[in-house]
Structure 1
Amino acid sequence: MLSRRSLLAAALVLGVTPALAQSDAAAPAAKLPVVASFSILGDFVKNVGGDRIAMTTIVGPNSDTHVYQPTPNDAKKLAAAKVVFVNGLGFEGWMDRLVKASGTKATVVVATTGIKPRERTADEPQDDDEKPKGKKEAHAHGAIDPHAWQSVANAKVYVANIRDGLIAADPAGKDVYTANAAAYLAKLDALQADVLKAVAAIPDDHRRIITSHDAFGYFGDAYGLKLLAPEGVSTESEASAKDVGRIIRQIKAQKVPAVFLENVSDPRLMDRIAKESSAKVGGTLYSDALSDDKGPATTYIDMVQSNLRALSAALSS
């Protein structure tokens, strides 16, 4: 026969153990720590990872990845991560050094894997009489254009690579990542239809603009727009008087209807070009970074739609 003490102990065990089990079952699993190199890529990762990930972005909204200088805190972020997502194609010129300095054991996923890189020719943004005699880099990245996300079809490749990278790091979350990716890909399909419809409404002879740096080549190739950028002028350099003069001649010769600012560039260049030419300032295009919470481009989808509105307003009439 059990003693009174034994019965009390048994009652405590029977009463407490289920409660403990219930508490353990309710406790959320630790989120997968991941890092994305810049804000647009970070938005893709958030849409696929959902609540299973804890994400940090290195280069935030309205910030220029081209000229970013990593900090010791960035190295700590990488050291703590299980997966690091990068654009690749030379976009983050500082990333290899940062990965090495951080000592991270994280898997580095290149989101542009499988995308055919767009090769830029040196004469794309120039007048015939200003073409260089030899090969000249059109951008600090050289001949390869890294801005592949500007094509929505390419954005879908980013999402697939992100999905596969998360599944490899967290197999238990496969169903969640697969479902999240499928839902987001459907949104991108709808976005693609919106882009095609908006561009189709722009007259053929108006489909030419100048932007402050060469970030929209994939967009132009995909949707039939001629998007020009000042040769030798990027977010990392200032335009000379000769550069400005050449751009103005180009605008007049090709009857370019509008010039556009970019959210990561100094607006003074395009303002000056607009004042000294017949082109109008068509507004702000979001190229390499999302806007902050107060802006119109807080997500990738919002960014593309904001760019469409700016292009349509400037070019449709």
Structure 2
Amino acid sequence: MTSRFLPAAALVAASVLALAGCAGGATGEQTGDGKLQVVASTNVYGDIAAAIAGDLVEVQSIITSVAQDPHSYEASARDQLTVSRASLIIENGGGYDAFMDAMIEGTGTEAPVITAVEFSHDWPGNAGHGAADHDDATDDATPESDATDDHDHDGHDHIEGFNEHVWYDPHTIAHVAEDIAHELGELDAANAATYQANYETFAAGIDGIETSLDELKTRVGGQKVFVTEPVPLYLTAAAGLENATPAAFSQAVEEGQDVPPATLLEAVRILTSGEVRVLIVNAQTGGAETDEVVARAKGAGIPVLEFTELVPDGDTYLTWMQANVAALADTLSR
């Protein structure tokens, strides 16, 4: 998972020593005011951690801007220094944010690491804590292929057939949040009850999102959507929506490769068939094939929604996901 970044990580690690004066602790440090430090790969997990920790912990996210692509992000020496000082690390995993694995290895940190994909029902081996009780709605969120092979995706390894965008699965995120509360309670026993209470508040918000998805499923379940990338598929599957996208199309777009001409023709046929109710695009990426299907969708009168991979400014994870569900509901109810 770290093959692309290891040589760079070694160089960055040397820079970290210069920045830190060789003082970075391998097991994490507290801030000057005694707070634990949580480091998250993206602001998705940073926001979730902040919801659990409140003002008791300092939370820092490596990627916070929609202009940054976690798939291809290359960490700086300062990022590596931040990780070296972490008390708790949260990553997505599954090859999505491989730069975190390189930094974890490069620093030799002994801080606990929470890897979100391991809590997914669809993770190979079903290794996630509590994930086994997930219903089968996520089956449509995972591309149909052998889930045991790795392949390179724009320079990083990910699990073939596994949709790593698990933050769009509220059920998985509930388990991630629960583990964040548990780990913070282990690190800071005096405030364990506060972390647990904050988790329960967050979990109630997740319940609200899942209720909205259940209501949407009752109203529009079975309708077809087309996605340029598999980013939102956990959410659409939970809403009972059918993914009509050719797997080869979304896979090529996600990997930054050219869509095969026959696949593009098939995508156009599907979009002009009159069966697709909404097209969902990744607002953080684009390309000729994406532009083509957007133009075709608009020409066919199909609404186009943009979903992001990061929490937008002014939102929290909970308000962001509820807004995505509301956008789907509003569009599909027309």
Band of TM-score, shorter chain: 0.7 to 0.9
Q: Which residue of 1 aligns with 2:60?
A: 56
Q: Is 1:292 aligned to 2:313, yes or no?
A: yes
**Cα distance change, pair 93–246 in 1 and its aligned pair in 2 (3 A):** farther
Tell me the TM-score normalised to structure 2 length.
0.72
| CA drift at 1:97 | 1.2
Give, as a single letter, the amino acid of the residue that structure 2 aligns with 1:180: N
Q: Is 1:315 aligned to 2:332, yes or no?
A: yes
Runs of 5+ consecutive residues of structure 2 not aligned to the other structure: 1-31, 124-141
Q: Is 1:181 aligned to 2:195, yes or no?
A: no
Q: Is 1:86 aligned to 2:86, yes or no?
A: no
| CA drift at 1:252 | 3.3
Alignment partner of 1:258 out of 275, 278, 283:
278
Moved over 6 A (4+): 135-140
Q: Identity of paired residues, percent?
A: 21
Q: Is 1:36 aligned to 2:56, yes or no?
A: no
SS at match of 2:312: coil
Q: Is 1:198 aligned to 2:216, yes or no?
A: yes
Q: Is 1:169 aligned to 2:187, yes or no?
A: yes
Q: 2:330 & 2:292 partners in 1: Cα distance? A: 21
SS at match of 1:233: helix
SS at match of 1:257: strand
Q: Which residue of 2 aligns with 1:306?
A: 323
Q: Deviations over 1:146-202 (max 9, x none)?
A: 222222222211111111111122222211111111111112212221222234333
Q: State how 1:234-245 maps to structure 2 within 5 Å.
A: 234-240=253-259, 242=261, 243-245=263-265
Q: Is 1:249 aligned to 2:272, yes or no?
A: no
SS at match of 2:276: coil
Q: 1:187 & 1:108 partners in 2: Cα distance? A: 24
SS at match of 2:229: coil
Contact 1:282 1:310 in 2 (8 A): no
Give, as a single letter, the amino acid of the residue that structure 2 aligns with 1:153: H
| CA drift at 1:86 | 1.4
**Cα distance change, pair 37–239 in 1 and its aligned pair in 2 (3 A):** same
**Cα distance change, pair 276–29 in 1 and its aligned pair in 2 (3 A):** closer
Alignment partner of 1:152 out of 162, 167, 170:
170
Q: 1:268 & 1:304 partners in 2: Cα distance? A: 28
Number of residue pairs matched by the alignment: 272
Tell me the TM-score normalised to structure 1 length.
0.76
**Cα distance change, pair 220–309 in 1 and its aligned pair in 2 (3 A):** closer
Q: Which residue of 2 aligns with 1:226?
A: 242
| CA drift at 1:228 | 4.7
Give, as a single letter, the amino acid of the residue that structure 2 aligns with 1:64: D
Q: Deviations over 1:228-279 (max 9, x none)?
A: 5524323440444714323112323572122122222227643421323525
| CA drift at 1:211 | 1.7
